[in-house]
Copies of this chain bind each other. A is one copy, B any other.
């Protein structure tokens, strides 16, 4: 069977179209942290990978939290003094404050305004706002629309239900050669926001599909969860699995045109941190590394001190650092198939490092092995240049003392991991290296 290391990253280069199709399909659905739109989203992903869909009843205790009530909306609008529907949830999912309870009211303009949210600095955009954990109702609208509201009586209708039901999430597991796991987690709760996080959904769906037929060292677990409450729910229901998770990445904001950013795990020097940094370093393009902070997406939960998992976050422009973030401007025009493909290939490259990163012992540790007689070394000597392939072999032999991993060696040698991995393969084939279990 094919191993990840044998997959050419370029085999993924046509995935952009499929990823964009998925995003286009999911964009109009009204998702929240619970509800029908979330289920519909999972069903669409199931067309790509055989997702297991889990339902957790409202009220279930999950550490310091409880699974919230399920929220579903039939319609929501505001009728102005002129009798026209001036705000209508059907026109844009973002118009409704998420988790607004049912309301049918007549209010004055000033009473209404206490429940309106807009963005003065971007007068054309509708903001995204939520009130999951405090009962409230409200509408989001552009500043321009806000400014055009006239005095008079407004009719507010929110036909929504907020009642016991369940929280939905999707899970997909690939069994590898070992039970040690790599976790890939994306939040799926936002409606009509493309980069945050339909891009993440698209990238890990494509990644999961690509990994499925391969022979893999690690087992892979893909989580499609509502942000925050979803990772808390999953961790609370799967504490026995947590110890198997050796590496992980939170996947979000991977479709915009910005450069790649890696945010380290709380540990800071975990293997996933070093693998991601290595891949970005040799990507040939600008990138950013940031230290862990307890603010962001679900790495907050995976890296809480009671778990402290080796989970980082690989994104393009980090959340909150682009003006379109959490507004209607994070739409289909904000993401690009090239960026999605580049993100996917970068994720694959990081996993290729994890899969291939082993520790060896040089079986001929005293002086150098004679590579020439094994056909691994040029025969005419004296030249200035040393082929990088030979140099990689010398490094692997020199540092394979049972302590250094191939990634340690690649980093110390300043040579891309893939070349070091190939050198180790060539040396192993000559019985010059022994793998340390």
Contact = CB atoms under 8 A, between A and B. Distances in A.
Interface of A: 62-65, 97-98, 117, 127-134, 136, 138, 228, 231-232, 235-236, 239, 266, 291, 293-295, 300-301, 303-308, 320, 325-326, 362, 364-370, 372-373, 379-386, 391, 394-395, 397-401, 412-413
Contact of A369 (B62, B64, B131, B372): B64
A263 to B, nearest CB: 14
A130 B300 contact: no
B391 A295 contact: yes
| Number of copies of this protein chain within its complex | 3
B367 A235 contact: yes
Contact of A395 (B128, B294, B401): B294
A274 to B, nearest CB: 18
A188 to B, nearest CB: 16
B364 A63 contact: yes
Given A304-B398, A326-B384, A367 B63 contact: yes
A162 to B, nearest CB: 15
With most chain B CB atoms within 10 A of its CB, the pick from A134, A381, A395 is A381
A215 B308 CA distance: 37
A424 to B, nearest CB: 14
A266 B383 CA distance: 24
B384 A325 contact: yes
A369 B306 CA distance: 12
A399 B293 CA distance: 10
Contacts of A413: 293
With most chain B CB atoms within 10 A of its CB, the pick from A132, A305, A384 is A305
Given A64-B369, A366-B235, A394-B295, A129 B381 contact: yes
A243 B380 CA distance: 35
Contact of A379 (B62, B134, B308): B134
Contacts of A399: 305
